[in-house]
Amino acid sequence: MEGTPQAPDEISCASLDIPIKKVTGLNLHPAHDALAVEEPLEIQLGYGAVDARVVKSISVTEGRSQT
């Protein structure tokens, strides 16, 4: 299916090969582009007395806008 990222089943990779449409002048050409695959960033905040430490985690991910 066009526009669906495809990754090889046998290896884990840090990028995916994505089919795109490239515009050159007035022409539209099928092409491929590499999309980076990243894990969410996790930030842990620890606070309070040492014997009653509270730890909170926040995860940050990048998203893409739907237009």
Which residues lie below 8 Å from residue 18, measured CB to CB, with a gap of 6+? 3, 5, 32, 33, 34, 35
Tell me which DSSP letter residue 50 carries. G
Residues 15, 37 contacting (CB under 8 angstroms): yes
The Cβ of residue 8 has, within 10 Å, a number of other Cβ atoms equal to 9
* pLDDT over threshold 70, residue 3: no
Q: Which residue has the higher pLDDT, 11 or 27?
A: 27
Please write the tens of the pLDDT for every residue from 29-66.
Answer: 999 998 878 788 899 999 999 999 999 999 887 765 55
Region class of 26: left (phi > 0), else alpha (psi between -120 and 50), else beta: alpha
The pTM of this model reads 0.38
